[in-house]
Amino acid sequence: MKIAIASGKGGTGKTTVAASLALSLIDWGNVCYVDCDVEAPNGHLFLKPDFSTQVEAIIRIPEIQEEQCTVCGKCVEVCQFHALAKIGKSILVFPQLCHGCGSCTWNCPQGAISEVPNPIGMLESGLTQEGIRFARGLLTISEPMPTPIIRQLKKSELISKDDIVIYDAPPGASCSVVETLRGVDYALLVTEPTPFGLHDLKQMLGIAQEMNIPVGIVINRDGIGDARMEAYLQEHHLPILLRIPYLRILATGIASGKTLIDILPEYREHLQHLYAQILEQGIGGVSC
């Protein structure tokens, strides 16, 4: 079962839920936690893995062999990402726009393109004390594109077919979130009952619907805001699988690196119940 924990909005408690869900399920199977927030990963602060493997994440970018290139422009034409440009009698490559898709190489009629590795960050993995397999990506600060590293991270050999895989998605509703959601069985959307929370939740629901992924909702900081969130969820028959109250002890505990279940141990059982509901709802269940 592959579950993505997403929120749309940053700071809604996505990692809080993801880390505690992983810890709650260690007796339910092999749990794998994949931190896909490659620009600002923070799952390790709660799960404290011992990183034993570190490899460079690379993409292969084109290098034009000028002596073979006839400047026909075919490569420029097929590049969806505007990473190539025909300027006078030469082809320019913009490495930071290149997704490493290989399309230009495939389509060059002269075989004038070779591919060279371009490092974009690091992939790290290891085990937590509880036996959770943990993987994360770290995008190099000057690199603009998180999607290739997320794609590589999700192919980690740490992940086996039958694992319970928890993907901690990046904030926002951009291509990096779409990349995280690609291929998951379920999206658990963490939100807060405020107008901003509702606005961003609607964006996430739109993405999940487009990708045909069943969803369930976690309301964090329950008790703040207004009634619009509840009304919206009710109207659209969206299941609320968990509520986390707005409590000072949670805010201070989480800020000091404690997990939800460290602070409120009864949430271990609540999260197990949530997972059981996901299994029931399961693949092809409630779609938004």
Rule CB under 6 A: which residues touch ligand SF4? 61-62, 64, 69-75, 78-79, 81, 83-84, 91, 98-104, 108, 110, 112-113
Give the whole-angstrom CA distance, residue 49 versus residue 57. Answer: 20
Which ranges in the chain belong to alpha helices (H)? 14-24, 43-47, 74-78, 103-107, 147-154, 175-181, 195-210, 228-235, 248-255, 260-263, 266-281
Nearest to ligand SF4 of 53, 68 (CB atom): 68
Least CB distance to ligand SF4 at residue 34 (A): 25
Least CB distance to ligand SF4 at residue 147 (A): 11
Give the whole-angstrom CA distance, residue 243 versus residue 233. Answer: 13
Token pair belonging to 141: 């600060």
Nearest to ligand SF4 of 69, 279 (CB atom): 69
Give the whole-angstrom CA distance, residue 170 versus residue 182. Answer: 13
Phi/psi for 247 (5° steps) reads -130, 140
Instruction: Look at phi and psi of residue 91 and say left if phi exceeds 0, alpha if psi is from -120 to 50, else beta.
Output: beta
Give the whole-angstrom CA distance, residue 137 versus residue 160. Answer: 18
Least CB distance to ligand SF4 at residue 168 (A): 27
Nearest to ligand SF4 of 107, 209 (CB atom): 107
Nearest to ligand SF4 of 98, 278 (CB atom): 98
Nearest to ligand SF4 of 174, 209 (CB atom): 174
Nearest to ligand SF4 of 43, 62 (CB atom): 62
Least CB distance to ligand SF4 at residue 182 (A): 18
Q: What are the beta bridge partners of residue 9?
A: none
Give the whole-angstrom CA distance, residue 180 versus residue 186. Answer: 11
Least CB distance to ligand SF4 at residue 105 (A): 7
Dihedral (CA of 89, 120, 163, 20) sign: negative
Nearest to ligand SF4 of 18, 104 (CB atom): 104
C-alpha pair distances (Å), 103 with each of 62, 100, 178: 10, 8, 21
Least CB distance to ligand SF4 at residue 112 (A): 4
Least CB distance to ligand SF4 at residue 227 (A): 47
